[in-house]
């Protein structure tokens, strides 16, 4: 989740996050003015000049450049396309939420009376509920600019801030993508582990390998006939979707190796094989038989690996407790560096219904 005009205009909870972010930025401005005024008489001319160039603090123009760069960098990390694709079904929460829990309806008596007078006996029991949940961890990273090099964050200093943020944002986004895909073994809230799309307990998994129960197929080298059998209604992929009552996935992601295989020309033999016609790509030929509305390639998956989902909030949802933003760390001495902190609070929820159905599918060599 990012702060941009569209999301701020349509999401009141995100607007509250934005107000909180600016509150922290204004705290820095107040702290800076107090520090300069308190130590003005003790600073030499050069130090005073370096600390006084900011005037009333870091202004709107400065933060506009910082915030715009965050938006510009959001698509540059491998795998971020998957995260961004799911943002239409995100759940925005207060920062105080460390986990998002949900209930699913359990069983109830199946007696339904059919009678003329409506007086036939039937039970008055109530349903049981099960529950599940997912953590919402905080992601933090820092970067700084030397107070002398920054020279009070003049034009050169601002450029240094943006360059430093750009370098750190790439690492920050890499960690975020890793969490969305695989979670973190270090995070657990109550009994709820932090898991991602690939390893979540509620993700329906297809073993493509040759082990027990495996589909024994390598989609990176499979023939069109083998691909059609795998993705068809009676193949491992189709049967997994049917078992989970999925008519069609909204998105199916394929590794670059699988994508390369399905992007090969589809050759149709004619005249007993003495001639051949090109019928587009293999994917063109079999796409209509794959129960997925959109199929795309991602470098976040490798080798014999695929990932798909129904894009619905009751199936999968990014959990946003704090959108990605940058805040300054207060300076208490004139020689302290200009330090900044990138923060977000976000997690991922993958749900199963009371019957155990999932809308997230992951396939790989899992044996």
Q: In order of start, what are the domains of the chain with their CATH numbers? A: 5-106+128-195+314-350 (3.30.2400.30), 204-313+358-364 (3.30.2320.10)
> What does the alpha-carbon distance between residue 359 and residue 352 come to, in Å, rounded to a whole number?
8
What pLDDT is recorded for position 321? Answer: 93
Tokens of 278: 């090109």
Burial grade of 20 (CB within 10 A; 0-12, 13-18, 19 or more): middle
Cα 164 to Cα 71, 204, 330, distances in angstroms: 15, 40, 18
What pLDDT is recorded for position 331? Answer: 85
Tokens of 68: 């715009």
Q: Are 184 and 214 in contact (CB under 8 A)?
A: no
What pLDDT is recorded for position 214? Answer: 92
> What does the alpha-carbon distance between residue 79 and residue 277 come to, in Å, rounded to a whole number?
36
Summarised one tens digit per residue, pLDDT across range 13-55 is 888 899 999 999 999 888 888 888 888 888 888 787 777 656 6
Cα 248 to Cα 243, 266, 309, distances in angstroms: 12, 24, 9
What pLDDT is recorded for position 139? Answer: 94
Report mean pLDDT in 10-residue bins for the chain, 367 residues: 82 89 91 86 81 70 90 91 94 88 61 56 50 90 80 61 91 95 93 95 96 92 96 96 97 98 85 64 94 97 98 96 92 86 95 93 93
What pLDDT is recorded for position 154? Answer: 57
* Distinct helix (H) and strand (E) counts, the chain: 11, 15
**Residue 335 C-alpha from the chain's centroid:** 39
Find the DSSP H helices in the chain: 5-10, 12-39, 45-52, 60-72, 80-86, 147-150, 155-182, 224-231, 236-243, 256-262, 282-286
Q: What angle do CA 251, 367, 298 make, to 5 degrees?
A: 30
Rg (CA), the chain: 27
Burial grade of 225 (CB within 10 A; 0-12, 13-18, 19 or more): exposed
């Amino acid at each position: 989740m990012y702060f941009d005009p569209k999301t701020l205009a349509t999401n009141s909870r995100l607007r509250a996050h934005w107000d909180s972010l600016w509150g922290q930025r204004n705290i820095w401005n107040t702290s800076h003015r107090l520090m300069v005024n308190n130590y003005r008489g003790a600073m030499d001319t050069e130090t005073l000049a370096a600390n006084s160039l900011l005037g009333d603090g870091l202004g709107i123009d400065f933060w506009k450049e910082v915030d715009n760069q965050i938006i510009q960098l959001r698509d540059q990390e491998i795998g971020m396309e998957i995260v961004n694709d799911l943002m239409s079904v995100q759940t925005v929460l207060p920062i105080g939420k460390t986990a998002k829990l949900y209930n699913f309806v359990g069983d109830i008596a199946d007696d339904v009376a059919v009678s003329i007078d409506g007086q036939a006996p039937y039970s008055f029991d109530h349903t049981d509920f099960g529950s599940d949940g997912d953590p919402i961890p905080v992601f933090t990273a820092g970067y700084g600019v030397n107070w002398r090099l920054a020279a009070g964050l003049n034009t050169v200093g601002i450029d240094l801030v943006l360059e430093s943020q750009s370098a750190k944002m790439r690492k920050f986004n890499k960690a975020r993508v890793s969490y969305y895909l695989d979670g973190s073994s270090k995070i657990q809230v109550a009994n709820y582990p932090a898991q991602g799309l690939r390893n979540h307990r509620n993700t329906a998994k297809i073993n493509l390998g040759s082990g027990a129960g495996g589909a024994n197929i390598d989609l990176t080298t499979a023939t069109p006939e083998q691909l059609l059998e795998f993705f068809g209604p009676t193949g491992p992929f189709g049967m997994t979707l049917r078992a989970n009552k999925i008519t069609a996935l909204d998105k199916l992601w394929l590794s670059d190796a699988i994508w390369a295989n399905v992007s090969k020309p589809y050759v149709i033999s004619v005249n007993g094989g003495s001639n051949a016609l090109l019928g587009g790509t293999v994917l063109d030929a079999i796409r209509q038989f794959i129960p997925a509305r959109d199929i795309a390639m991602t470098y976040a998956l490798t080798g014999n690996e695929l990932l798909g989902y129904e894009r619905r909030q009751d199936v999968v949802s990014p959990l946003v407790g704090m959108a990605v933003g940058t805040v300054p760390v207060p300076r208490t001495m004139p020689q302290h560096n200009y330090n900044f902190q990138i923060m977000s609070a976000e997690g991922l929820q993958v749900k199963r219904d009371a019957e155990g159905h999932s809308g997230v599918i992951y396939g790989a060599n899992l044996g």
